[in-house]
Structure 1
Amino acid sequence: MDPFEDTLRRLREAFGVGRTRPAEFRAAQLQGLGRFLRDNRQRLQDALAEDLGKFTKLGSAFIRKEPFGLVLIIAPWNYPLNLTLVPLVGAIAAGNCVVLKPSEISKGTEKVLAELLPQYLDQSCFAVVLGGPQETGRLLEHKFDYILFTGSPRVGKIVMAAAAKHLTPVTLELGGKNPCYVDDNCDPQTVANRVAWYRYFNAGQTCVAPDYVLCSREMQERLLPALQSAITRFYGDDPQNSPSLGRIINQKHFKRLQGLLGCGRVAIGGQSDESARYIAPTVLVDVQETEPVMQEEIFGPILPLLTVSSLDEAIAFINRREKPLALYAFSNNNQVVNQLLDRTSSGSFGGNEGFIYLTLPTLPLGGVGNSGMGRYHGKFSFDTFSHHRACLLSPAGMERLNEIRYPPYSDWSQQLIRWAMSSQSCTLL
């Protein structure tokens, strides 16, 4: 019998039903902790005296944000400039030296970065390195002081395993299947406009794009003509000739996406042209959860619609899958949006909106669980690439003031120490 199984199951069940989430619950637990310390002060002091027994006081305490040292940034191909330079800004601002590894898949941007960027930076502190998976693997054999990787969970595990050999901290910006719940109580055309724009932006090659829609059968019937209207308005009757629709990055990804078009039933779009790496803005219906399009991040202009009978079923569907990088909810009822927010977990959340939050430097970008760890953007980038060093500076003189902490301890000195502790001017060690 596993001695921990029952305890861990009980705690996970409590977290799963949201018991720890209300602010009132958290406050009550903190108050209980305070009562524990007050009610059991003497027993705790006796126990500390039995086990260790020592105190400290005085000094100037602060946090010093220092650079880690040598940072490795491994960038993706889908936004090859933005997702290379934004973390680089944070690493430079924090005072680090940086090795920058752009994606070999976005060949044009990789070439420009390799040829031109070193001309603008101190080459004794910054370097751009090139290569594919084999070269990246060799690079990861070396010790770095911090690594930021943006890419798939599969490769993220490889990066994390390599970092673990040197106990190197990491930020992993990974992907996932981002759910989008559409409530019956909403305007289908408004939802279609927003979902279509975010889904097909950059030909769907965006890690925070809505990856699939959950809605009722009735809403699906209302949403389909609205999506068709939005797609036609955005990209015209012939989207292949629209200058506003991007292309798939390479033939390998085109073939992968073309294979996904066979899942479910094509309700909108479905056309493809290999010579132009073109996949039409597509909507799939009658999709089964077990089909390939629901087993991997799509990363293309394909949107599956899955039907659910209720909000509770949608939440259960989301929660039995890996935690996504982003989650979206559309409803005229704020309670529905808040339920999705309260009863699920994701790296980011959009209520009646898509990933426009990426334009706000006051909000971090980061995943949770399978969608990543750590965060950056704005000041969060500076903090990510900084070691938060706890510091205490004590005066060299005034030793008489410190004598109270030295043994032997008289009754008077113990009373004074207890008073200092109760006034929160002393730290117990």
Structure 2
Amino acid sequence: MNKYQNLLDRQKAYFNTNITKSFEWRIEQLDKLSNLLKENLDEFYATVSKDFKTAISEQVFEVNAPLGIIEMVKGQLKNWMEPTIAPLPKFLAEAGHTAFVQRDPFGSTLIIGPFNGPILLLLYPAVTALSAGNTVVLKTSVDTPATSALLEKLIPQYFQEEAVAVVSGGVEEVTALLELPFDFIFFTGSARVGKIILRAAAENLTPVILELGGHNPAIVDETADIADAAKKIVWGATSWSGQFCASPGYAYVHESVVEQFVEEAKKAVVELYGNDPKNNPEYSSIINAAHVKRLAGLIDQTKVVAGGESDESARFVAPTILYPITWEDKIMEEEIFGPILPILTFSDLDVAIAKIQKAAKPLATYVFSTNKENTEKLLSTLSFGGGAVNMTNVQLFVASFPFGGVGGSGMGSYVGKYGYDSLTHAKPVLNSPAGAVIDHLYPPYTMEKLQALNGWFDF
């Protein structure tokens, strides 16, 4: 018997009591999650730092962002739960029928979190699932043992296991969980593993959200504020040491301004992290030595214009800028997921668009331009999960925006109301007066009856 079968059975039985559908239960769970974070702030900061987020600002954000999210959701939840009135064909409305759509939770939700946001990217989906009235099984990342151990210790102190449970471990544990018929699966991670998740979900016809990554372009045209663009793109590519799914993967710069962009990017590295980023407390570590080795293997030392150093024992890769890079370079083959910024050039915007379109659809795209026509062309032509104009990364922190990918960068979205809708089923209900006449739907059929059916499309 699957070692997690009993846990899932208990969660499903608990869900079937209908308790999770009440507004009060949902608020209670969100309050518990908030208290868990508030009452253990220092311990969370320390464990996140031990795992890899050595930057103080990132430690604070990792823990404090979910607290802000919880308060936002609590303030909106009542409205989200209200059924919405649905329009009806005239002949039904005139005969006294009414209709509404209510949103029902799916049930027990498996949330598989990534290493790069061991608290934020695990608990944000949990907030979404709980606010929608689902029970939750949290699968922590094997690559963040300190944070995983802390969550494994604290979750049972605040939650009934039937409502929220936590599972740690590696491939064996994930495989066992994926064999079970969860009602929903939420996965954040790589496209490679996302395919495994989707295949497993198909066995039980389980709906999924897949939040994957992508090789995200930052396009800089000849009208851009180059100093501003360079600093924002360098920051976006190196914050969290580049271990962020929506980080700019490469800068695609118009040839007329590329030399200026390179100089400004080099300047930005020093402004952000000084001359010794390895010992700068605002620069985070790489998750482990294996990832350092992988990233070092992507750096063509003949094209390094800034950084380039790495140290496996210190889990360090310097903020690195590579130029000139072409589409044929190894580093352009897939998502980098590290603090390395390749710089490519283009001379014709349409040709640049065609090149981007040949690659996998990215999770994010960033446009730096003051030309309205160029901006509109890029935004309307390119397919991507989400993005920004003259900014990087910040769109992810806007709680009124959906967050999700397209194609190889994911499916489904969450954050705020979009997440609530994703983790609930839209259930339509038609309310008919007793004795309402529908004779034209009964056999035997005549041409007159069939013509009467046209009224179904008259609103």
TM interval, shorter chain, is: 0.7 to 0.9
Equivalent residues in 2 for 1:340-419 (5 A)? 340-395=378-433, 397-399=434-436, 401-403=437-439, 405-407=441-443, 417=452
Deviation digits for residues 207-246 of structure 1 (CA, Å, limit 9, x no counterpart): 0010001113332211111112111111112222211111
Equivalent residues in 2 for 1:98-137 (5 A)? 98-137=136-175
Conservation of the 8 A alpha-carbon contact between 1:74 and 1:101: yes
CA distance in 2, matches of 1:410, 1:139: 55
The 1:407–1:183 alpha-carbon spacing in structure 2 relative to 1, beyond 3 Å, is same
How far is the alpha carbon of 1:334 from its aligned partner?
A: 1.6
Which of the residues 108, 129, 143 maps onto 1:91?
A: 129
Cα RMSD between the aligned structures? 1.9
Q: In the alignment, is residue 218 of structure 1 matched against residue 256 of structure 2?
A: yes
What residue is the counterpart of 2:211 in the other structure?
Answer: 173
> Which one has a bigger Cα radius of gyration?
1
Amino acid across the alignment from 1:315: I
The 1:419–1:303 alpha-carbon spacing in structure 2 relative to 1, beyond 3 Å, is closer
CA distance in 1, matches of 2:186, 2:109: 8
The 1:264–1:297 alpha-carbon spacing in structure 2 relative to 1, beyond 3 Å, is farther
Aligned residues: 365
CA distance in 2, matches of 1:133, 1:410: 62
What residue is the counterpart of 2:344 in the other structure?
Answer: 306
Which of the residues 312, 319, 327 maps onto 2:365?
A: 327
Conservation of the 8 A alpha-carbon contact between 2:266 and 2:305: no
CA distance in 2, matches of 1:90, 1:245: 30
How far is the alpha carbon of 1:118 from its aligned partner?
A: 2.1
Which of the residues 277, 289, 299 maps onto 1:239?
A: 277
CA distance in 2, matches of 1:143, 1:307: 49
What residue is the counterpart of 2:236 in the other structure?
Answer: 198
The 1:306–1:392 alpha-carbon spacing in structure 2 relative to 1, beyond 3 Å, is same
CA distance in 2, matches of 1:131, 1:279: 27
Tell me, what secondary structure is at the counterpart of 1:275? coil
Compare 113-122 and 368-377 and name the one that shifted more. 113-122
How far is the alpha carbon of 1:119 from its aligned partner?
A: 1.3
How far is the alpha carbon of 1:134 from its aligned partner?
A: 2.4
The 1:290–1:414 alpha-carbon spacing in structure 2 relative to 1, beyond 3 Å, is closer
Amino acid across the alignment from 2:435: M
Tell me, what secondary structure is at the counterpart of 1:376? coil
CA distance in 1, matches of 2:302, 2:99: 61
Compare 309-318 and 155-164 and name the one that shifted more. 309-318
The 1:345–1:264 alpha-carbon spacing in structure 2 relative to 1, beyond 3 Å, is farther
How far is the alpha carbon of 1:418 from its aligned partner?
A: 6.2
TM-score, structure 1 as length reference: 0.81
Deviation digits for residues 153-186 of structure 1 (CA, Å, limit 9, x no counterpart): 0000000000001111111000010011111112
How far is the alpha carbon of 1:262 from its aligned partner?
A: 2.4
What residue is the counterpart of 1:76 in the other structure?
Answer: 114
How far is the alpha carbon of 1:259 from its aligned partner?
A: 0.8
The 1:324–1:414 alpha-carbon spacing in structure 2 relative to 1, beyond 3 Å, is closer
CA distance in 2, matches of 1:419, 1:115: 62
What residue is the counterpart of 2:12 in the other structure?
Answer: none
CA distance in 1, matches of 2:183, 2:295: 37
The 1:81–1:61 alpha-carbon spacing in structure 2 relative to 1, beyond 3 Å, is same
CA distance in 2, matches of 1:422, 1:241: 68
CA distance in 2, matches of 1:157, 1:277: 29
The 1:229–1:135 alpha-carbon spacing in structure 2 relative to 1, beyond 3 Å, is same
Ranges in structure 2 where 5+ consecutive residues have no aligned partner? 1-94
The 1:142–1:186 alpha-carbon spacing in structure 2 relative to 1, beyond 3 Å, is same
CA distance in 1, matches of 2:163, 2:453: 51
Tell me, what secondary structure is at the counterpart of 2:321? strand
What residue is the counterpart of 2:103 in the other structure?
Answer: 65
How far is the alpha carbon of 1:91 from its aligned partner?
A: 0.7
Conservation of the 8 A alpha-carbon contact between 1:263 and 1:293: no
Which of the residues 139, 152, 173 maps onto 2:190?
A: 152
Conservation of the 8 A alpha-carbon contact between 1:94 and 1:385: yes
Q: In the alignment, is residue 138 of structure 1 matched against residue 176 of structure 2?
A: yes
How far is the alpha carbon of 1:115 from its aligned partner?
A: 0.7
Compare 222-231 and 118-127 and name the one that shifted more. 118-127
What residue is the counterpart of 1:292 in the other structure?
Answer: 330
The 1:143–1:226 alpha-carbon spacing in structure 2 relative to 1, beyond 3 Å, is same
CA distance in 1, matches of 2:447, 2:274: 87
The 1:403–1:249 alpha-carbon spacing in structure 2 relative to 1, beyond 3 Å, is same
Ranges in structure 1 where 5+ consecutive residues have no aligned partner? 1-56, 425-429
The 1:326–1:414 alpha-carbon spacing in structure 2 relative to 1, beyond 3 Å, is closer
Q: Percent of aligned positions with the same letter in both sequences?
A: 44
Amino acid across the alignment from 1:398: G
CA distance in 2, matches of 1:242, 1:132: 32
Conservation of the 8 A alpha-carbon contact between 2:129 and 2:420: yes
How far is the alpha carbon of 1:58 from its aligned partner?
A: 6.4
